[in-house]
Amino acid sequence: MANKHIQLVSTPKATPAGGHYSQATISNGLIFVSGQLGFKPGTNEKQDGDIKQESFNCLENLRLILEECGATTDDLVKVTIYISDVEYWPVVNSVYADYLGEHKPARAIVPCNVLHYGFNVEIEAIAKANTIIINN
């Protein structure tokens, strides 16, 4: 039974959900974006590249999901970044800062083991919802 207070969000522009979850949900004026791995946007294709490319792809998938919700990265209020090695912190931080510019939402970077599919970065976020989207 669907929860009428939670909207499920899906867009083919970003990497499709790989399990029993939604790309994002909207509830009580907030958008909760599931963790995004460094797949090439819109695919389940692992793109050749370094930690910079992987970080950029995570952010692009995040942006595309927010766009589907009528929001932008300027609406981000909280971001959590998981990295497989603390050594990646400076590079991931640099890509993140370049991508978001002057906007500085609350954030945590959490060192952990290698992530699913061998990725080294995963980014999840919470953003302010500006509109109500019904797409399910």
Q: Domains in the chain, ordered, with CATH?
A: 7-128 (3.30.1330.40)
* pLDDT score at 136: 45
Confidence (pLDDT) at 73: 98
81's tokens: 């970044």
The pLDDT score that the predictor gives to residue 130 is 86
pLDDT along the chain (136 residues), means of 10: 82 93 96 96 88 97 97 98 97 98 97 92 96 54
